[in-house]
Structure 1
Amino acid sequence: MKLQTTVPLIKFENPIDYQSKLLLLGSCFVENIGDKLKYYNFQQLQNPFGILFHPFAIENLVERAIENRNYQESEVFEQDGRWHCFDAHSANSATSKTILLQNLNESLEETKQQLEQTTHIIITLGTAWVYRDNKTKKVVANCHKVSQKEFSKELLSIEVIKNSLARLIELVHSINESAQVIFTISPVRHLKDGFMENQQSKSHLITALHGVLSSRAQSRGIYFPSYEIMMDELRDYRFYGKDMVHPNELAIDYIWEKFKSSWISSQSYTVMEEVDTIQKGLQHRAFNPDSEEHQKFKKSLQAKITYLKERYPFMKFD
């Protein structure tokens, strides 16, 4: 008896391995995947501008990075003792204008460097709803709790999203023709926009994205169905967090395993198991830290770390 529908997946060509260099951009769900990749010590850069929810914000970051357009004083502002930029998440805000501008421009440079050498770019789209600054008429990435009176809310049309995503792919390949772009739609429901509005938003993203991917060679962009896995395979509130909006740890682990089966090279699985053993060992808390047994455990763990770092010098273990 079959009690679950499953989304068909394939093992993609050009999979991710420990020689791959990854760039992850987009909504909070891309950070769920990014945290898994970080845990297993893959080479990756994750959201240098913080969480970016909509296509325009991601396109803007990539475009400014490639074009070396540094941020100027006129593009940042102070509110409640902190300095912000409408193009970046509040996690990137700073206590001074100088620090913020320095951080933003260093992140642009870091993004460009990663774009030039990346093998895989994972982009997660969260919403088609955006806020436009009434003064500048520019769509912002984050409102930073500025009064909603200062913005106009709008739903990006399918055609506008298609143009933005097509431009994004072209920008990436203008600086790195061989980079594999992996798109996914975030399974996080943006219910603050409303139930029907969230469905409308996701449908615009999905339709636009598939429209772009179907009009290009398959190698230029590929879709991973994280949204569909959450909606069709995990159709139960026990897979959501307490807010009933975000996937919980169990759901994230489930989708990660699906991503791993599709995108991670099977030749990397043994190394992943070695890394996992070390990570669990580092998290271990001994009842008696001074015991001979624990000292032997620490020595053995350090030997495993040394052996692994000899093969993969970029790995870091905290």
Structure 2
Amino acid sequence: MQFHLGFPVEPLENAIQYSDKLLLMGSCFAEEIGEKLQEHRFNTLINPHGILFNPLSITHALTTYLDGKVYTEKDLFLHNDIWHSWDHHSRFSDVSPEKALQQMNTAAATAANTLEQADWLILTFGSAHAHFLKENNRLVANNHKVPAANFYKRMLTPEEIITSLDNLMHRLFFRNRKVNILFTVSPVRYIRDGVVENNLSKAILLQCVHHLVNKFDRLFYFPAYELVIDDLRDYRFYKEDMVHPNEQAVNYVWDKVIQSCIHPGSQPLLHQIAELNRAAAHRPMNPESIQHQQFLKTYTDKVKKLMLDHPELQLADLLERLSSH
């Protein structure tokens, strides 16, 4: 008997290779997959503005990289003795405005350089809901726990999302003629917006993404949303909040990423690195045993060989973790 709905995921035409540079932006699910890519030593930059949920905030952040924007103190505001930016996640906030700006501008400079050279830009949209300041209608990427009375929330229209992304695509393709763009829609369920409203929000995002994928070459869609919502389709694959996919679900989606998005020529190396990661995470019952010392030597030698064969990979931390056992 078949107990879940499986469906084929089309492989990417130009699949991701270890030689590629990747920039991931978007919701917390982008970070889940981005961390998997980093863990397997792909050249990956994740969320240089921090977690962003709606397409307009993501587009705005990318535009600041293309414009070479430098944030100054006039871009910050003070709330509860901490300096914040309406464009950034609170991970960039600080009690010192100088330190906050240093973090923002350092991340932006890295992002601008990466975007110019990226082979893949991976965008994960979380919600079509967006918040705006009542006083001036300014789009905000993060509320930073400012009282809700200062904002109004509305559903973005397909037209404004498509127009914003369309303008970005033309600018980006002029600056970076090799970049591919992979869209995903986050399977995280934003039920604080309401169940019906969340489904409408996801429908708008899907409509916009598929419109763009059908319009431009080098734009692709990976069905992370459908894999969790339609394939797994069970609350046992969610965390206790019943909103975020759990580790099993993330790993299931990651397996599909490997199968459909990673170039077949890069998969053997990926599996080698996965094996080394498991070895480095192993915790023995008796660290001093002869068997464990031989285990460490075997895997230390494997890491050293891989470092010789692939000097472009960052593997020093793996060697250090094995040496510190």
TM-score, normalized by length of structure 2?
Answer: 0.93
Q: Which runs of 5+ in 1 are unaligned?
A: none
TM-aligned CA deviation for residue 286 of structure 1? 2.6
TM-aligned CA deviation for residue 8 of structure 1? 2.8
1:168-195 Cα deviation digits (max 9, x unpaired): 3223323211101000110101001111
Paired residue total: 316
1:11-50 to 2 correspondences below 5 Å: 11-50=11-50
Opposite residue 55 of structure 2, the aligned amino acid is: P
In structure 1, what is the Cα distance between the partners aligned to 2:226 and 2:288? Answer: 50
Opposite residue 204 of structure 2, the aligned amino acid is: H
The answer to whether residue 267 in structure 2 is matched with residue 269 in structure 1 is yes
In structure 1, what is the Cα distance between the partners aligned to 2:113 and 2:136? Answer: 30
1:103-150 Cα deviation digits (max 9, x unpaired): 111111110111111111110000010111122321010010001111
Opposite residue 268 of structure 2, the aligned amino acid is: T
Equivalent residue number for residue 162 of structure 1? 162
TM-aligned CA deviation for residue 2 of structure 1? 4.2
CA contact (8 A) 1:7 1:228 kept: no
Q: Which runs of 5+ in 2 are unaligned?
A: 319-325
Opposite residue 308 of structure 2, the aligned amino acid is: E
In structure 2, what is the Cα distance between the partners aligned to 1:295 and 1:3? Answer: 44
Equivalent residue number for residue 315 of structure 1? 314
Opposite residue 124 of structure 2, the aligned amino acid is: T
1:33-89 Cα deviation digits (max 9, x unpaired): 111111111110011111110111111111111111111101112222322111111
Opposite residue 302 of structure 1, the aligned amino acid is: T
Opposite residue 259 of structure 1, the aligned amino acid is: V
Equivalent residue number for residue 226 of structure 2? 228
1:53-64 to 2 correspondences below 5 Å: 53-64=53-64
Equivalent residue number for residue 322 of structure 2? none
Q: Which moved more, 1:307-316 or 1:173-182?
A: 307-316
1:78-89 to 2 correspondences below 5 Å: 78-89=78-89
The answer to whether residue 89 in structure 2 is matched with residue 96 in structure 1 is no
Opposite residue 158 of structure 1, the aligned amino acid is: P
TM-aligned CA deviation for residue 251 of structure 1? 0.9
Equivalent residue number for residue 240 of structure 1? 238
CA contact (8 A) 1:184 1:223 kept: yes
Q: Which moved more, 1:303-312 or 1:156-165?
A: 303-312
Equivalent residue number for residue 282 of structure 2? 284
CA contact (8 A) 1:83 1:96 kept: yes
TM-score, normalized by length of structure 1?
Answer: 0.95
1:245-300 Cα deviation digits (max 9, x unpaired): 11111111111111211110122221112111211111112333333433332222
CA contact (8 A) 1:7 1:232 kept: no
In structure 1, what is the Cα distance between the partners aligned to 2:54 and 2:203? Answer: 13
Equivalent residue number for residue 146 of structure 2? 146
The answer to whether residue 117 in structure 2 is matched with residue 117 in structure 1 is yes
TM-aligned CA deviation for residue 17 of structure 1? 1.4
In structure 1, what is the Cα distance between the partners aligned to 2:248 and 2:105? Answer: 37
Q: Which moved more, 1:25-34 or 1:88-97?
A: 88-97
In structure 1, what is the Cα distance between the partners aligned to 2:290 and 2:248? Answer: 37
Opposite residue 306 of structure 2, the aligned amino acid is: L
CA contact (8 A) 1:24 1:34 kept: yes
In structure 2, what is the Cα distance between the partners aligned to 1:267 and 1:129? Answer: 40
CA contact (8 A) 1:24 1:30 kept: yes
In structure 1, what is the Cα distance between the partners aligned to 2:281 and 2:67? Answer: 42
In structure 1, what is the Cα distance between the partners aligned to 2:208 and 2:285? Answer: 55
Identity, in percent, stands at 37
